[in-house]
């Protein structure tokens, strides 16, 4: 049976596979469904990077909550950015 010496290599391979899926989805899908699929894949990729490469699986619960709070705060700021862009008049 094939066994990887380093689990980080497995995570990297998953990230490359998700990158290929993102590229394929951008070529096949368009509109709102393409955007939602691409953002969902990006969310999975960022969760893998947070969990494994930033070693959140080895941290305490407080550190995990701080990382989650930072991600939620970034999401709030991005929502405000989108609302600002959509409500401006470009005349």
Q: 39 with 82: CB under 8 angstroms? A: no
Q: Indicate the angle between helix axes 7-28 and 31-48, nearest 10 degrees.
A: 170
pLDDT tens digits for range 34-79: 888 998 999 999 989 988 888 888 889 999 899 889 989 998 999 9
Q: What's the predicted TM-score (pTM) here?
A: 0.71
CA–CA gap between residue 38 and residue 21 (Å, rounded): 9
> 51 vs 64, 67, 83, CA distance in Å?
9, 10, 30
pLDDT tens digits for range 5-24: 688 888 999 999 999 999 99
């Amino acid at each position: 049976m094939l066994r990887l010496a380093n689990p980080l290599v497995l995570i990297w391979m998953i990230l490359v596979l998700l990158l290929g899926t993102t590229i394929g989805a951008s070529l096949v899908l368009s509109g709102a469904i393409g955007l939602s699929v691409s953002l969902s894949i990006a969310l999975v990729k960022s969760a893998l990077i947070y969990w494994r490469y930033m070693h959140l699986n080895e941290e305490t619960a407080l550190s995990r909550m701080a990382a989650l709070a930072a991600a939620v705060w970034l999401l709030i700021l991005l929502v405000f950015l989108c609302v600002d862009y959509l409500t401006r008049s470009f005349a």
